[in-house]
Amino acid sequence: MSGEKYEPKHLISIDKRCLWTGLILMVSCFICWYFAWQGALLPESEKLSVWFQRSGSLTLVFCILAEIFLLKNLALASKIIALNPAIDTNFSKLWFSSISNFSELLIHALTVTSTLIWGYGDVIHKCLS
């Protein structure tokens, strides 16, 4: 959108991108954890519990990339709202409080979960298997 005029209609596409970012991240993390739990692509030299533990580091990278993408979109949305004072403040408050907060909370929850799996995934796997 560089060189373009920042219009309120762009908020809807930013809104959708933020929602999809959170949902895709959630699905990616759960798929990664599931396949690691099942031992998909497990090398013979590794234990299943350690393989699950390593999936936490991979999903943490996903979370960091999603956070960067979300922050970029929220900065653009803030710029659009600032440049268009005619935007209804209720719309902008509703937009920021619903989709972005949902995506932000989801990313933070998955970041904490990924970190715990990365640090204690072998213990978790041994306790739950």
9-52 pLDDT tens trace: 788 788 888 889 999 999 999 999 999 999 998 999 999 999 99
Please tell me the pTM assigned to this model: 0.84
Distance separating alpha carbons of residues 30 and 126, to the nearest angstrom: 19
Residues 6+ apart with CB under 8 A from 97: none
Domain spans of the chain, in order of start? 10-128
71-105 pLDDT tens trace: 998 888 888 878 877 776 666 565 555 777 888 89
